[in-house]
Amino acid sequence: MGAARDIIIAGLLLGGIYALIAAGLSLQYGVARVLNVSHGEFIMVGACITWWMFTNFAFDPLVSIVITGPLMFVLGILLYRFVYRKIMVDSESVEAFEGSSMLAAFGFLYVVQNVARWIWGSNTYAYTYMATSVTSARIPLNRLVALAVVAVVAAIFYIFLSHTRMGKAIRASAQDPTTAGLVGVNVYRVLGICFGLGLAMAGIAGSLLSILYSVNTSMGLGYTVIALIVVVLGGLGSIQGAFIGGILLGLMSSLVSYYQPSMTMVAYYIVFILLLLIRPKGIMGK
Amino acid sequence: MKTKALTSSKTASLALLGVIFIVLAVLPQLTQAYVIVLFSDIMKFVVLTVAWVIFAGPTKYISLAAAAFYGVGLYTAAILNASLPFPLVVILAGVFCFIVALGVGALTLRLRGVYFTIFTFGLVQLLFYAVAEVERIATGKRGRFVSTEGTETVYYAMLILVAFTLLVAVLIRRSRHGLALSSIGQYEEAASHSGVNVVRTKVLVFAISSVFMGMAGAIVATRRAYIDPGIAFDMNVSFMPVLMAILGGTKHLIGPVIGAIIFAYLGEFLLTRLPDLYMLVFGAVMVIAILFLPRGVVGLAQQLWRKYRGGARAPARG
């Protein structure tokens, strides 16, 4: 009983972060049609900034979310405005745009990673923050706090999507950008904001991850892969799917690593590849 | 009009190609070892990029599986080169890759667009972790030693492979399969309705293109002496051909060749002088090529040529 409870708790705590990472990626692909394979690099930048501010200025990692989030948001808007928008204008079809924008994202993967390596070097850093356990199940406090932050971000985002004008415009553009444009939605602006929001989620996830795990400049690709798996699991482009997929992958990861830690990555990829073969649309896919 | 110009200059370009191959064939007698190693490396990228373009050029399916087949080639050489003759090992590497690619292709080529790309990306990572895990359990070691071949042997093997790859690429382009492939790239449903066996064509050409990647891997392995899963299933091996092909342009076969030569040489230059900048330049060139060179260096050259020719002809018309 105790083992099952520990596995489930650890899985849920991990799954929350996975969900946040994947939601950002899903938003970028679902609306802006950019499969941002450099997503993990922006998570890494968020984590490095958080670590850097904590060690140099004793800046609270939870407070640094209000810096990494907006910073990544602005970066995302700029990237969309000056790169992806041009690719979109030049592309003949949506498929061509998806291909080219994904390749551009691969380019950014290298650019961001190497600029970060210039700034922070290639050492691994870590710090301790709220490293105490609570309740009889001895849940690490920092993980619980991270999960709470994810829940708050998800709630805010949900309200934003369902109750604001911009949220409505985003949902319209996700369904059909051409028609959304016809009824007066400034589609490029909406897509740019979606891309920015996706990166903001990556930045926030990075801040949270830096509390839980050690940080280095090559950590990004691993998280990109996790985000891709979660997004495929939940359905490419579906935000609800990203949250469900995140929790599921978190549970699976904690189950596998309970019995055979070295098999976690292999298990991820087996699930991933089986899923692509059996149901590429994912759980919530249309 | 342009195709006509090409056919009339065909003999000239064939002669040029012949001269290039003869120069490359006698090169080891003329220069020192460093140049031979550098050229072998450049030719490796030519093989990988042309092989990538054989499938991805006409179909526009972005495959990131190059590292998977390259890695299979490396491991084939690592396991067999001590006991079997080198040419046989290279051929076997190609055969193994063909079989693996047939399986992978049959399973995955129903996937379209980004799903296919993600899958091939996942495949390389799966092989990396799976091989690392198998090696850990079976041998308890991380890597393997490969019985080596001389620099000249490697060079000539690579040169033959380049010629072979280019020949097959040209033959496929001119065959029924080439036409079928480009019709798939333009509109898959229409191709299927006009009687193209879409799945068979895609899987077959995908498998053929993987043969060269595997052979290149097997040849390179004999120069490296030591390999491990990190070297064999390195994602950069998957990205490089894509970048080189985009930089060169995928419409004509000369595009990937030029792209590979430019970037392999640039890579060598940067690695020796500014190793920190290497990957940064790599990423930046990728973004810039996608933004400003949609048809690659070759496309740009053609555009400039047309502008120049057009400008020269304009007064005569009036």
B265: closest CA of chain A, how far (Å): 19
Task: Please give the model's pTM, rounded to 2 decimal places.
Answer: 0.85
Q: At what angle do helices B296-317 and B235-248 cross, to 10 degrees?
A: 0
Mean pLDDT of the A241-260 span: 88
φ/ψ (deg, to 5) at B53: -70, -30
Mean pLDDT of the A173-181 span: 87
pLDDT tens digit string along A100-143?
898 899 899 999 999 999 898 888 887 777 767 777 667 788 88
Q: Which two tokens stand for residue A49?
A: 């900034």
A116: closest CA of chain B, how far (Å): 10
SS3 of A54, please?
helix
* B62 contacts A102? CB cut-off 8 A: yes
Q: Which of B122, B136, B246 sits opposite A103 (nearest CB)?
A: B246
Q: Residues of A with CB below 8 A from B279's CB?
A: 110, 113-114
pLDDT in tens, chain B (318 residues): 445 555 556 787 788 888 888 888 888 877 777 888 889 999 999 999 999 999 988 888 889 999 999 999 999 999 998 888 999 999 999 999 999 999 888 887 777 778 888 888 888 988 898 898 888 888 888 888 888 888 888 999 999 999 999 999 999 988 888 888 888 888 888 888 888 888 888 899 999 999 999 999 999 998 888 899 988 998 888 988 998 998 888 888 888 999 999 888 888 888 888 777 888 888 898 899 888 887 888 888 888 888 887 755 544 443
Please tell me the predicted confidence (pLDDT) of residue A286.
Answer: 62
* Total length of chain B: 318
Q: Which of B115, B282, B283 sits opposite A276 (nearest CB)?
A: B115
Domain covering A2-278 assigned CATH 1.10.10 in the classification: no
Please tell me the predicted confidence (pLDDT) of residue B317.
Answer: 42
Q: Sign (positive/negative) of CA torsion A239, A241, A242, A246?
A: positive
**The residue type at B64:** L
For chain B, the C-alpha Rg in angstroms (whole number) is: 20
B187–A contact, CB cutoff 8 A: no
φ/ψ (deg, to 5) at B39: -65, -40
Q: Residues of B with CB below 8 A from A262's CB?
A: 133, 136
A270–B contact, CB cutoff 8 A: yes
A13-22, A199-208, A273-282, B45-54 — which is least confidently predicted?
A273-282
What CA dihedral angle connects B161, B164, B166 and B170, to 10 degrees? -160
Band of residue A145 on the pLDDT scale cut at 50, 70, 90: confident
Q: Residues of B with CB below 8 A from A40's CB?
A: none
pLDDT tens digit string along B10-52?
787 788 888 888 888 888 877 777 888 889 999 999 999 999 9
Please tell me the predicted confidence (pLDDT) of residue A2.
Answer: 74
Mean residue pLDDT of chain A comes to: 87
Identify the closest residue of chain B to A282 by CA–CA distance.
Answer: B115
Residue ranges of B 106-145 with Cβ closer than 8 A to chain A:
107-108, 111-115, 117-119, 121-123, 125-126, 129-130, 133, 136
Q: Which of B107, B115, B283 sits opposite A108 (nearest CB)?
A: B283
Spell out the domain ranges in chain A: 2-278
pLDDT tens digit string along A251-267?
988 888 888 877 787 88
Q: Please, what is the end-to-end C-alpha distance for chain B in angstroms?
A: 21
Q: Which two tokens stand for residue A224?
A: 């990109």
Please tell me the predicted confidence (pLDDT) of residue A44.
Answer: 95
Mean pLDDT of the A71-79 span: 94
Mutate which of A38, A83, A110 to test chain B, going by most B C-beta atoms within 10 A?
Answer: A110
